[in-house]
Amino acid sequence: TNQTTNQPNNQTKKTNKELPITCDIKYTLNGKEMSVEELAGKSGKVTIEITYTNHEKHVVAINGVNTTLYTPFAVATGVIINNENNKNITVSKGRVINDGTKTIVVGMAMPGIQESLGLSKVNLPDSVKITMETTNFELGNIFTIATPKLLEEDDKKLLEEIEEIYSKVNTLQSSSNQIE
């Protein structure tokens, strides 16, 4: 893997190190797995499942017991889907924002964290699943960002403001549909 990273002093460095997070994408049409090339132009219920693997695991001693812990990465995945041929778009552990002509889908995952913490009552997913009904499947780029930096207070405020805007866009869209 050849990666480019931007350094704080605006210098670009390249590395051949392995990525700490990798992903596997599985496409299905009406429950049948196929490649994205085979899926192009088809109609039916499409599921896109992106499963992330966290390769940053470390053995640490906790109360004298060696335990495997993963570096806590938050992974956000986003895609914009055209509404002309797609409807009933959903995402697991994320948000779907429909502006009337396109739908923005954002999903979240935290690969390896469920295993690290040994949680059974809380579900911290290692994958994002997008489903939709399509009459002529095509898909643009899927963007993913992984970061070990958890949200800070300013980030939370920004997310709350974005949530308020999304709510108003959804209300506007709903009202426009009623007027039509």
- What pLDDT digit, counting tens, does each position of 7-53 carry? 555 567 777 888 889 999 999 999 999 999 999 999 999 999 999 99
Q: How far apart are the first and last CA of the chain?
A: 50
Number of helices (H) and strands (E) in the chain: give both, helices first: 3, 13
**Tens of pLDDT along 71-98?**
888 899 999 999 999 999 999 988 998 8
pLDDT tens-digit readout, 92-137: 988 998 888 899 999 999 898 878 777 667 788 899 999 999 999 9
DSSP structural state of residue 19: P
Q: Which among 30, 34, 58, 24 has a CA at the least distance from the CA of 126? A: 24
Global pTM reads 0.73
* Contact between 166 and 99 (Cβ < 8 Å): no
Distance CA 48, CA 33 (A): 10
